[in-house]
């Protein structure tokens, strides 16, 4: 029986994937590489440590990788973070989860200060019990570090006692490496075929759809008991 739901944030609870992609695309151009928006967007869901090596060599990253990530962070917070909006019914979904007696945790590749803003936008600050960010993991998704950290924060829950909700294949891949199950949502823009191929056990349009079909979802106790 599950005891906790672990939510990703970017693309899952808040509409930020395109904004992250634009910030990275602009950053890459500043550092000398014209990368298409589509190519960058496909990598969103990874942290910078896993995303930058897709487009830059080891030598390039050694030379200016840290500067590039700092540039992107400043750019995103200044120009793009103010444009982020919450998806509908996030607070209502969290309230339903709490009514069911389940614990709520966040596991994101976002920085801690971005995480604070996202929680405020989604109106969930008071409903979140534990959280981990990029600052709590040596490697970001698709490595499982963030999920290992959040299970530890939840008192050492076993993987079968929690379910992840995320929007990217990288969420499902990272969770799957430590035997966590993942529910996929389409609001981050990744195709259902990609989410299922990465291991998602069920797919919903967005948080409002998951809330509307909660009783028949893997989050429901009645489903868990079947």
Encode pLDDT of 113-161 as tens digits.
899 999 999 999 999 999 998 788 889 999 999 999 999 999 999 999 9
Same domain, 116 and 127: yes
pLDDT band at 65 (very low <50, low <70, confident <90, very high): very high
Q: What is the Rg, in whole angstroms, of the alpha carbon atoms belonging to the chain?
A: 17
Secondary structure letter of residue 87 according to DSSP: P
Three-class SS of 155-177: CCCCHHHEEEEECCHHHHHHHHC
Same domain, 111 and 206: yes
Same domain, 75 and 91: no
pLDDT for 169: 97
pLDDT for 110: 83
pLDDT over 80 (residue 222): no
Same domain, 41 and 125: no
pLDDT over 90 (residue 58): yes
Same domain, 93 and 75: no
pLDDT for 226: 41
Which residues partner with 105 through β-bridges?
6, 130
pLDDT for 37: 98
Same domain, 163 and 218: yes
Range of the domain at 21: 17-83
Same domain, 11 and 30: no
- Which residue has better confidence, 41 or 109? 41
pLDDT over 60 (residue 3): yes
pLDDT band at 225 (very low <50, low <70, confident <90, very high): very low
Query: Can you say whether the dihedral through the CA atoms of 156, 158, 164, 168 is positive or negative?
Result: positive
pLDDT for 84: 98
pLDDT digits (tens, 9 = 90+) for 153-210: 999 999 999 999 999 999 999 999 999 999 999 999 999 999 999 999 999 999 999 9
């Amino acid at each position: 029986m599950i005891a906790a739901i672990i939510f990703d944030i970017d693309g899952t609870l808040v509409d930020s994937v395109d904004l992250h992609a634009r910030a990275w695309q602009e950053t890459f151009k500043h550092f000398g590489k014209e990368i298409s928006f589509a190519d960058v967007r496909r990598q969103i869901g990874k942290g910078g440590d896993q995303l930058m090596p897709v487009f830059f060599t080891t030598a390039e990253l050694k030379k200016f990788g840290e500067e590039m990530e700092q540039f992107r962070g400043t750019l995103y917070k200044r120009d793009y973070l103010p444009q982020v909006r919450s998806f509908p019914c996030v607070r209502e979904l969290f309230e339903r989860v709490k009514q069911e007696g389940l614990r709520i945790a966040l596991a994101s590749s976002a920085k801690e200060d971005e995480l604070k803003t996202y929680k405020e936008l989604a109106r969930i600050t008071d409903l979140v019990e534990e959280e981990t960010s990029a600052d709590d993991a040596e490697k970001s998704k698709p490595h499982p570090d963030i999920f290992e950290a959040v299970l530890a924060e939840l008192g050492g829950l076993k993987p079968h006692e929690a379910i992840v909700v995320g929007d990217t294949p990288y969420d499902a891949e990272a969770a799957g490496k430590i035997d966590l199950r993942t529910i996929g949502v389409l609001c981050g823009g990744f195709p259902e075929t990609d989410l299922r191929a990465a291991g998602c056990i069920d797919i919903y349009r967005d948080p409002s759809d998951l809330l509307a079909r909660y009783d028949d979802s893997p989050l429901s106790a009645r489903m868990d008991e079947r």
